[in-house]
Amino acid sequence: MKKGYLILQDGQVFEGVRFGAETDTVGELVFTTGMCGYVETLTDPSYAGQIVMQTYPLIGNYGIIREDFEGACCVKGYVVREYCDTPSNFRTDCDLDTYLKEQGVPGLCGVDTRELTRIIREHGVMNAAICDEIPADLTPIKTYAITGVVEAVSCKEPDRYPAEGEECFRVSLIDYGAKRNIARELCKRGCAVTVLPCSAKAKDILAAGYDGVMLSNGPGDPDAVVETYEQVQQLIGKVPVFGICLGHQMISLACGAQMEKLKFGHRGGNQPVMNLVSRRVEITAQNHGFGLLFPSLGKLVPELSGGETEHAADGDLRVWVRRGIAPVVMNERFGRIRLTHVNLNDGTAEGIQLLDAPCFSVQYHPEASPGPTDAHYLFTAFTRLMDGEENYLDIDTAKDRLQGWNFAENGSAATETEEN
């Protein structure tokens, strides 16, 4: 096994063992807390430009399953405590080392990932390099920046997916780095999906007469894609819109909001989020490094915000969780906007709903697979919005999650398809 190094931009060095592609790389080092789903992590375009570190100590035990890919492999590097070179799974196509070699992605194992995680949590995400030798000059690492990634990961030509069963809606999915499961979840709900490049123009989308527009996840700094959220601004109020992750940020920026770069981001499949509308806690999958500053959307509407007139000075939105209120602000561009979801770990905004336009969005990933199914109801909410239902977010989330399942008297469960 060949020795390798992870070099942080502040000069700290971690020695490990190389696997995957034998090439050097520079990227933004981030950590993800998922205990499974590394196949989906590696193929999530939202990680473009980043070196991904897994906090879970053993990765690769079920190999690489190509059927589960969410997109192209866009990571710059991969860091793990230990990887399994003898996977055991009947669906395995190859092992992790082989796949990383195929993709030209360097990996490093044998690293103290717990210590690395502590460093990132304390100091924030930082640039890093995976290399064979410790460089004398850290300038290339310190000056690295993620640029042009949305255009790089977006599709170049439209693609189409038919609805499962009866076609009820025609939806355009704007691809900022879309995970494949977004289209799958829409198709399950009777949507014929047309995937469009990130360069798609609002006037062309509106002229095509879609029933709704889905804005996907994607990588990078949302403020760097000005042309994109300017197009979104032209869509809001003219067609039902649902945004996820970067799509949520595009809607927020279209409303004139400000974004902040989070210290170490939210990445993993175990983030608790309070739905302020249903008062249910959702366990969510997340992958983002930027977040919405909710107060920047406008001033509170007291009669719709429990009588409050001022936003919390510290910006912690968990105050609304404690009060059991989904506050509403008055936005200069699109009228009333409600805060619908709050992250219970750090009090950041996780979802908004425009009350005077058919539009809503969440920062997390309701389509995540594998992962929690708590938020799958949001795709149902989108179909209800396209159907013109006023209270489209008022959903029995537990019932929606279990739709299609029959539970036998003895406690065993089977899907309707299996029983029939």
Active-site residue (options: 73, 109, 245, 255):
245
Q: Give dist(CA 393, CA 417) in Å, integer.
A: 28
Task: Match 């931009």 to its residue by tokens.
Answer: 9
Q: Does 191 qualify as catalytic in the annotation?
A: no
User: What pLDDT digit, counting tens, does each position of 267-303 carry?
Assistant: 998 899 999 999 999 999 999 999 999 999 999 999 9
Token digits of residue 398: 């537990």
pTM: 0.93
Looking at residue 235, what is its pLDDT? 98
Task: Match 């062309």 to its residue by tokens.
Answer: 204
Among left, alpha and beta (phi > 0; psi -120 to 50; other), residue 376 is alpha
Active-site residue (options: 28, 185, 282, 367):
367
User: What pLDDT digit, counting tens, does each position of 319-372 carry?
Assistant: 999 999 999 999 999 999 999 999 999 999 999 999 999 999 999 999 986 566
At position 99, the amino acid (one-letter code) is Y
- 374 — pLDDT class (breaks 50, 70, 90): confident
Q: Which of 95, 121, 135, 107 shows the shortest CA–CA distance to 13?
A: 135
Looking at 3.30.1330.60, 3.20.20.150, 3.50.30.20, 3.40.50.2300, the CATH number of the domain 3-146 comes to: 3.50.30.20
- 396 — pLDDT class (breaks 50, 70, 90): confident
Q: Does 376 qualify as catalytic in the annotation?
A: no
Domain-wise residue ranges, the chain: 3-146, 150-401
User: What pLDDT digit, counting tens, does each position of 29-49 carry?
Assistant: 999 998 889 999 999 999 999
Q: Give dist(CA 233, CA 213) in Å, integer.
A: 12
All residues at 6 or more sequence positions from 362 whose CB lies less than 8 Å from its CB, including other chains: 243, 244, 248, 340, 341, 350, 351, 375, 378
Q: Average pLDDT of the chain?
A: 93
User: What pLDDT digit, counting tens, does each position of 97-153 carry?
Assistant: 999 999 999 999 999 999 999 999 999 999 999 999 999 999 999 999 999 999 999
Looking at residue 417, what is its pLDDT? 41
User: What pLDDT digit, counting tens, does each position of 207-236 carry?
Assistant: 999 999 999 999 999 999 999 999 999 999
Active-site residue (options: 248, 288, 365, 376):
365
CATH architecture assignment, domain 150-401: 3-Layer(aba) Sandwich (3.40)
